[in-house]
């Protein structure tokens, strides 16, 4: 008697609506969300790129442990990411208060900053694969009205660097070199390459949609 292969489970170790939207854009829907509850403070003298890699790895490992406790069956792919914004070695905090967001925007005004997104994937074999994507973004010189009105929009809350490039702050960007989706929160090219490299069928929903179209 043959048995049906277990459906591979994709777990996103994040509750970020931006990352969910980006995966949906690529035709991928996680089976489960397991946001990591951890201290994201940088270590003493930690470089921004090292922080992004460390946090992505830690979030993936926390989700793997949670899955073991939940005893989720079948092959599992655990995906995690973390985005860090910096000017030089200065890490811009995720803004939770308006004063933090204002300070961030004043620092970024008229300057080029770097956005690092670390991506970590734990495949069914338990192996960990990582990528780090660096993007350079230059803002125009922000007026006081620019900053005040952006703060009033509330888009900055909880965002790395105190802004969301996919929203109103997109109008601040003079130049971007690198990955736009990485600045939003998840570099699609590198993420899909990681998934495909571990054997996850990234085209499954694409093929399903094509089949529905043919039978319509």
Active site residues: 82
Place of tokens 């995966």: 23
Place of tokens 């489970």: 9
Tokens of 124: 């069914």
* Closest-CA residue to 186 (of 108, 121, 113): 121
CB-based contact 119:190 (threshold 8 Å): yes
Q: What residues form DSSP beta bridges with 61?
A: none
Q: How far apart are CA 203 and CA 198, in angstroms?
A: 14
């Amino acid at each position: 008697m043959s048995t049906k292969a277990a459906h591979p489970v994709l777990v996103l170790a994040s509750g970020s609506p931006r990352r969910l939207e980006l995966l949906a854009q690529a035709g991928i829907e996680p089976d489960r969300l397991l946001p990591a509850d951890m201290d994201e403070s940088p270590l003493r003298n930690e470089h921004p790129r090292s922080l992004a890699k460390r946090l992505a790895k830690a979030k993936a490992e926390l989700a793997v442990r949670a899955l073991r406790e939940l005893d989720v069956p079948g092959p599992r792919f655990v995906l995690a990411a973390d985005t860090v914004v910096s000017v030089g070695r200065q890490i811009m905090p995720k803004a939770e208060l308006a004063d933090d967001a204002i300070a961030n925007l004043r620092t970024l005004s008229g300057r080029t900053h770097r956005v690092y997104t670390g991506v970590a994937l734990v495949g069914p074999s338990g192996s960990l694969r990582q990528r780090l994507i660096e993007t350079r973004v230059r803002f125009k010189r922000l007026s006081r009205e620019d900053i005040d009105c952006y703060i009033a929009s509330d888009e900055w809350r909880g965002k790395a660097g105190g802004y969301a490039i996919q929203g109103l702050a997109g109008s601040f960007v003079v130049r971007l070199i690198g990955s736009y989706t990485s600045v939003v929160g998840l570099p699609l090219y590198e993420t899909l390459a990681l998934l495909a490299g571990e054997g996850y069928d990234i085209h499954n929903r694409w093929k399903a949609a094509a089949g529905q179209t043919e039978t319509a």
